[in-house]
A and B are shown apart, each in its own frame.
Chain A
């Protein structure tokens, strides 16, 4: 029963992450949603490892952690640069990039 409930938790996390990415305007909430998506993937990998008594699931989770940390550091740096150059931290501000490219 525990494994099924853990899969349900993973589905909840995935739905919350997708909803955050689709519905919120703020870029920092979008990044929080991305972290939730990574965590959902980690829960599924761990459930697989626990189901088949293998250490591979935990190894995969450790690599996912490293990858999400690397991606987050880079995107937060990009977010600060967006705030500097375009003067805002919402999704709408990024539309200015397209206008500048059109000119």
Chain B
């Protein structure tokens, strides 16, 4: 049952991320990214991480996707047909590497390692204790980083005539 659900999620992720490769308009790309992120939120629920699933919806679909929408609106790119397919001359070496990687993956999965574990749910309480217990200083460092991003964005947008 769960395997069927995850298989369906894999199908959704495959289709929407393949659609990202072919759509013209950036707005369609943002919609497809939203579909992928929502499917990933369901996957996180299945993996026993309800707190991270909620954060995925709130932070990614709620904040980062809206940031993308703002950028798309501010850029106002006219949709033009792509001039030519972008197959560069150095295209074949990556193809060979990808084929080798696929062979490695197939070899890995023909003899499946013993991963048959029961997934237990780890709730927000344990995560919160970990974040503000042993990982306290890392959390504070991330807060400092997010504060520094504000200053960095201001510095990026500073003009010569008047300082920001």
Contact = CB atoms under 8 A, between A and B. Distances in A.
Given A3-B117, A16-B21, A20-B20, A25 B82 contact: yes
Given A24-B21, A58-B122, A79 B33 contact: no
B123 to A, nearest CB: 9
Interface string B114-125: 011101101000
Interface in A39-65: 39, 42-43, 46-47, 49-51, 53-59, 61-63, 65
B137 interface: no
Contacts of A67: 142, 145
B77 A89 contact: yes
Interface string B70-113: 11101101000010001000000010000000000100010010
A12 interface: yes
A25 B83 CA distance: 10
B141 to A, nearest CB: 9
B137 to A, nearest CB: 12
Q: Binding site of B, secondary structure by majority: helix, strand, loop or mixed?
A: helix
B113 to A, nearest CB: 9
A8 to B, nearest CB: 6
B6 A28 contact: no
25 contacts: A13-B36, A19-B21, A28-B71, A28-B77, A29-B26, A29-B29, A33-B20, A35-B33, A36-B17, A36-B20, A36-B36, A46-B52, A47-B47, A50-B119, A55-B130, A58-B49, A59-B135, A63-B138, A65-B55, A72-B64, A76-B71, A77-B156, A80-B71, A80-B74, A80-B157
